[in-house]
């Protein structure tokens, strides 16, 4: 039974780390795209998907791996969940207040 629960916890941890790094890596890409006049849409889409995945995996990792976490790992996971959740909440707030009547 331990192997059954170890695999999802390891996948959640890897998913959280990789998606968080991907979301952070999009920031310089967006800045470079603005500077050179390129389209920013691929970077924004990637960042939103990576942030959503980071939120889901960090919350799942917190729920499934709480007993085996060191305090530093737990702090990193809580930070990832709070920051990605805050970004998604802000995005939802902005999208609910956009006025499409001028388009």
Q: For the residues of 39-78, what is the DSSP string, one character each?
A: --HHHHHHHHHHHHHHHHHHHHHHHHSTTT--HHHHHHHH
pLDDT recorded at residue 98: 87
| Tokens standing for residue 32 | 């470079």
pLDDT recorded at residue 51: 96
| Tokens standing for residue 34 | 């603005």
Phi, psi of 27 (to 5 degrees): -60, -50
Phi, psi of 68 (to 5 degrees): -95, 0
pLDDT recorded at residue 1: 46
- Give how many domains the chain has, as a whole number: 1
Measured from the Cβ of residue 21, the count of other Cβ atoms closer than 10 Å reads: 12
pTM, two decimal places: 0.84
pLDDT recorded at residue 59: 93
Distance CA 81, CA 51 (A): 10
Domain that includes residue 28, residue range: 2-102
Low-confidence ranges of the chain (pLDDT < 70): 1-7, 66, 103
pLDDT recorded at residue 100: 78
């Amino acid at each position: 039974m331990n192997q059954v629960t170890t695999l999802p916890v390891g996948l959640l941890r890897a998913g959280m780390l990789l998606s968080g790094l991907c979301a952070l890596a999009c920031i310089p890409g967006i800045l470079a795209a603005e500077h050179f006049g390129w389209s920013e849409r691929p970077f924004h889409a990637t960042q939103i998907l990576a942030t959503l995945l980071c939120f889901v995996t960090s919350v799942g990792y917190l729920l499934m791996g709480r007993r085996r976490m060191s305090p530093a790992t737990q702090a990193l996971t809580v930070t990832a969940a709070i920051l990605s959740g805050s970004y998604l909440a802000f995005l939802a707030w902005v999208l609910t207040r956009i006025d499409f009547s001028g388009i």
